[in-house]
């Protein structure tokens, strides 16, 4: 029977594909139920992210943390040659000896590098590092020794060691460790260089704890990642894993205190066994969250940790300075607690639910002892069915705040298939995600656990890789518009189910942020794929109030293929309607690979004829990419358009229609608050003071550094503000009168 069903579905797919070639356009009918808004509202917690120590995503030349040196403490040994991983020797000879010695400045490290020169010559240790010819580098290292003649010196060569580009000499060392620091100026015409730290002369020096960071970093985070995140209205950020969170490398005390005296090396488990040093530690993570105005979510170590360890981490983040670890935080420079609210107990505890349930209570006890106001998240599951759920929750009951789980999708199969079958499975996968959401919510409801225990999607992603190497994230399809359509569809599904999900966190390191060395220029490139562009757009064009959308449009189907999701009827159009202030946003994803969809919009007559703002992400083919050659090939395009009864949504597209004066036209809100529209904007935006700012008011626009960019005093009534001179990015708008002050987050998109 199943075999016959698969044949029938295959015939449907083939017939549909043939029909597509005969038509040029699909048709649809769409109606927004403005009179029936959902009771549950959206927050930016539904647009969360997830940063984890996986591969070189945090540490390394392409990592989130802007440290250019690998193995910067000289502590990770290459056992094949009794030397060091990542470092190479320069100028070694019979008279100039470079060796690895146990000990060093960092008592939590293993080694130092000793350079002993018998000849008046230059010898040292070097790494190849990426550079930007407009950005300087801050370099430091710790050194001690005795120099008979000459100097400690750093040298910068081109990638092939053909030319000396820069050098700097330091004073001779003493017997005590001393931190040597310098700024290497921008080096014109170079994208990758060799940086050598050494001794030019005779004598002996010891080196330990080196660092090389571009000066444009933001609190230590690489500027490229900061620029990618600052325009995304991300509400919550999970850290430090993922599977890493449960490893013996993820003890939180490895990532606090003096950054040059942290655990080194800090080797993660196979298969990669990388040194995941915790330079991007607890304080660094929390400070970054504060900078980008996102809520931190920390995953405690369950598999290799213990309850007191987790309780200590809570106390370090949230405890009073009179507590043991609150005092330690104060000694590290932070007297005020961070008050981290969201704490998860382990990662993906899928296989021993009864044991996890019992041990969870020990973790809960110690963590709540440190702060009884925190919210606890279970590292639970949807894949193993209701039996897993009952085993876990019959024990835990309402003694957790969130049932966390990880909906994900695979795009890999060994079974023979067509490209269109894979495409349909991917872009229609959101229908399965909505099934996951309904399933978990149903379990919670049937067990009478609501509203005490809510559901959360604490890690969601799409992987095209094979089961053994999916985490390497090397498949070309993750660069495509197809991936962007998947992200848009799946994000919309998370957002339009606020009753079933209270927050959602998109994985950064899989099919999202991309990195590489340019094949011609050798320049380092870090960019967001089309999925990133889609989620960034949706995060800024989704309001807190959502409305049901009725859509009448054709659906697509696939047969069952081993390894990928079968699609049993997904509409070509996936939609989300929401409002923010006085703007109505209609987001529509058209997944049809060949045809636009001409859609009748059943709107209130008062909307028609207004000028709306259109945001559109689209391209001619779903295989078109944002790649290392053209990382901004597919980005949102912004235009103005008069709202009419019909709208043609292009093939392979993500469209957001922003309709201003929504509350006035629909008469839903007779006492509107002050609002800004559109937001995001291109060259200008409008400010409606509503009834909040009757009479005169002052309006100011500030950049992220707090500098006044625009100042308008003694204004009244509606304003249209020209921002064509501003660069793309996030700003703060402040409006004040004699009785009130209000701030708004505004985003300019080119």
State the Cα–Cα distance between residues 654 and 490, nearest whole angstrom: 12
Most distant CA pair in the chain: distance in Å?
89
Confidence of residue 24 (pLDDT cuts 50, 70, 90): low
Would you put residue 473 in left (φ > 0), alpha (ψ -120 to 50) or beta?
left
Least confident of 14-18, 128-132, 394-398: 14-18
Q: Between vectors from CA 31 to CA 26 and to CA 33, what angle results, nearest 5°?
A: 160
Q: What is the pLDDT of residue 4?
A: 40
State the Cα–Cα distance between residues 433 and 428, nearest whole angstrom: 10
Of 242, 221, 346, 357, the residue nearest 289 (C-alpha): 221
Q: What is the pLDDT of residue 749?
A: 77
Please report the beta strands in 619-740, taking only residues with DSSP state E, as ranges in sequence order: 637-642, 646-649, 653-659, 675-677, 684-688, 697-702, 708-715, 719-722, 729-736
Give me the helices (H) in 244-306, please: 282-291
Matching CATH number, 88-214, of 2.60.120.260, 1.10.1660.10, 3.50.50.60, 3.90.1300.10 = 2.60.120.260
Residue 122 has pLDDT above 50, yes or no: yes
Residue 682 has pLDDT above 80, yes or no: no
**pLDDT tens digits, one per residue of 687-705:** 888 778 888 899 999 988 8
pLDDT (mean) for 500-524: 97
Q: What is the pLDDT of residue 750?
A: 64
- β-strand pairing of 402-405 with 164-170: unpaired
- β-strand pairing of 646-649 with 596-602: antiparallel
**pLDDT tens digits, one per residue of 130-154:** 999 999 999 999 999 999 999 999 9
CATH architecture assigned to 675-748: Sandwich (2.60)
Q: Are 311 and 370 contacting, i.e. CB atoms less than 8 angstroms apart?
A: yes
**pLDDT tens digits, one per residue of 164-179:** 999 999 999 999 999 9
Q: Are 489 and 589 contacting, i.e. CB atoms less than 8 angstroms apart?
A: yes
CA separation, residue 720 to residues 676, 678, 695, 696, 715 (Å): 10, 11, 17, 16, 11
In angstroms, how far is CA 221 from the centroid of its own chain?
A: 13
| Residue whose structure tokens are 């109606």 | 31
- Phi and psi at 136, nearest 5°, equal -80, 165
Residue 10 has pLDDT above 80, yes or no: no
Residue 664 has pLDDT above 70, yes or no: no
CATH architecture assigned to 44-61+220-563: Alpha-Beta Barrel (3.20)
Give me the helices (H) in 272-384, please: 282-291, 307-318, 324-331, 353-370
Taking residue 162's Cβ as centre, other Cβ atoms within 10 Å add up to 8
The fraction of the chain above a pLDDT of 70, given in percent, is 95
Q: What is the pLDDT of residue 1?
A: 42
State the Cα–Cα distance between residues 512 and 117, nearest whole angstrom: 48
| Residue whose structure tokens are 């009918």 | 29
Output the pTM of the full model: 0.88
Token digits of residue 419: 């490209």
Residue 186 has pLDDT above 90, yes or no: yes
Token digits of residue 539: 């995060």
pLDDT (mean) for 199-222: 98
Confidence of residue 670 (pLDDT cuts 50, 70, 90): very low
Q: What is the pLDDT of residue 665?
A: 53
pLDDT (mean) for 355-375: 99
- β-strand pairing of 454-463 with 408-410: parallel
- The chain-wide mean pLDDT, for the chain, equals 93
Residue 5 has pLDDT above 50, yes or no: no
Q: What is the pLDDT of residue 114?
A: 99
Token digits of residue 547: 């409305």
State the Cα–Cα distance between residues 359 and 344, nearest whole angstrom: 14
- Domain definitions of the chain by residue range: 44-61+220-563, 88-214, 675-748
Confidence of residue 652 (pLDDT cuts 50, 70, 90): very high
């Amino acid at each position: 029977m199943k075999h016959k069903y698969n044949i029938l579905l295959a015939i449907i797919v083939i017939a549909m594909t043939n029909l597509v070639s005969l038509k040029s356009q699909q048709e649809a009918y769409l109606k927004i139920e403005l009179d029936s808004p959902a009771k549950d509202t959206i927050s930016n917690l539904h647009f969360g992210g997830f940063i984890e120590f996986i591969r070189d995503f945090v540490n390394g030349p392409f990592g989130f943390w802007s440290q250019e040196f690998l193995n910067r403490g000289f502590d990770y040994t290459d056992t094949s040659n009794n030397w060091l991983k990542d470092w190479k020797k320069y100028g070694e000879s019979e008279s100039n000896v470079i060796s690895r010695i146990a000990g060093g400045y960092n008592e939590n490290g293993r080694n130092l590098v000793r350079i002993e020169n018998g000849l008046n010559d230059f010898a040292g240790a070097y790494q190849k590092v990426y550079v930007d010819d407009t950005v300087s580098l801050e370099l430091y290292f710790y050194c001690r020794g005795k120099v008979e003649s000459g100097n400690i010196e750093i040298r910068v060569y081109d990638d092939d060691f053909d030319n000396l580009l820069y050098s700097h000499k330091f004073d001779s060392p003493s017997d005590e460790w001393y931190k040597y620091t310098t700024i290497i100026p921008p080096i014109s015409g170079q994208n990758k260089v060799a940086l050598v730290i050494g001794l030019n002369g005779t004598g002996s020096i010891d080196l330990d704890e080196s660092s090389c960071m571009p000066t444009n970093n933001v609190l230590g985070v690489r500027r490229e990642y900061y620029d990618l995140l600052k325009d995304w209205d991300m509400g919550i950020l999970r850290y430090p894993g993922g599977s890493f969170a449960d490893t013996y490398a993820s003890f939180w005390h490895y990532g606090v205190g003096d950054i040059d005296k942290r655990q080194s090396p800090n080797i993660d488990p196979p298969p990669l066994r990388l040194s995941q040093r915790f330079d991007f530690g607890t304080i660094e993570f929390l400070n970054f969250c504060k900078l980008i105005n996102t809520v931190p979510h920390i995953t405690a170590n369950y598999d290799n940790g213990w309850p007191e360890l987790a309780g200590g981490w809570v106390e370090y983040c949230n405890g009073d300075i009179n507590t043991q670890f609150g005092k330690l935080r104060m000694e590290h420079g932070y007297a005020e607690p961070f008050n981290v609210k969201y704490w998860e107990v382990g990662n993906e505890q899928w296989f021993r639910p009864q044991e996890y349930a019992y041990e969870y209570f020990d973790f809960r006890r110690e963590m709540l002892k440190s702060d009884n106001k925190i919210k606890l998240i279970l590292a639970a599951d949807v894949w193993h069915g209701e039996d897993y759920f009952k085993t876990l929750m019959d024990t835990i009951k309402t003694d957790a705040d969130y049932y966390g789980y990880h909906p994900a999708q695979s795009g890999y199969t060994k079974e023979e298939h067509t490209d269109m079958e894979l495409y349909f499975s991917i872009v229609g996968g959101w229908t399965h995600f909505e099934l996951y959401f309904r399933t978990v919510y149903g379990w919670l409801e049937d067990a009478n656990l609501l509203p005490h225990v809510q559901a959360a999607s604490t890690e969601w992603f799409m992987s095209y890789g094979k089961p053994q190497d999916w985490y390497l994230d090397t498949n070309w399809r993750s660069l495509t518009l197809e991936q962007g359509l998947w992200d848009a569809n799946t994000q919309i599904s998370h957002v339009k189910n606020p009753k079933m999900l209270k927050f959602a966190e998109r994985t950064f390191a899989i099919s999202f942020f991309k990195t590489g060395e340019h094949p011609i220029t050798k320049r380092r490139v870090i960019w967001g794929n089309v999925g990133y562009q889609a989620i960034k757009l949706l995060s800024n064009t989704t309001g807190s109030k959502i409305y049901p959308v009725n859509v009448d449009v054709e659906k697509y189907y696939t047969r069952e293929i081993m390894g990928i999701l079968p699609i049993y009827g997904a509409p070509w159009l996936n939609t989300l309607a929401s409002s923010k202030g006085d703007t109505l946003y209609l987001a529509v994803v058209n997944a049809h690979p060949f045809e636009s969809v001409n859609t009748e919009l059943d709107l209130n007559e008062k909307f028609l004829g207004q000028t709306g703002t259109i945001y559109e992400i689209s391209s001619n083919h779903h295989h078109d990419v944002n790649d290392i050659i053209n990382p901004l090939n597919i980005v949102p395009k912004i235009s103005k358009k008069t709202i009419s009864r019909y709208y043609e949504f292009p093939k392979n597209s993500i469209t957001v229609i922003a309709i201003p004066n929504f509350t006035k036209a629909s008469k839903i809100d007779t006492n509107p608050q002050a609002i800004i529209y559109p937001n995001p904007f291109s060259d200008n935006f409008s400010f409606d003071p509503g009834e909040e700012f009757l009479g005169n008011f002052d309006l100011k626009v500030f950049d992220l550094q707090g500098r006044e960019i625009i100042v308008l005093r003694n204004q009244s009534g509606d304003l249209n503000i020209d921002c064509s001179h501003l660069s793309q990015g996030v700003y703060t708008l402040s409006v004040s009168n004699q009785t009130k002050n209000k701030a708004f987050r505004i985003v300019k998109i080119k």
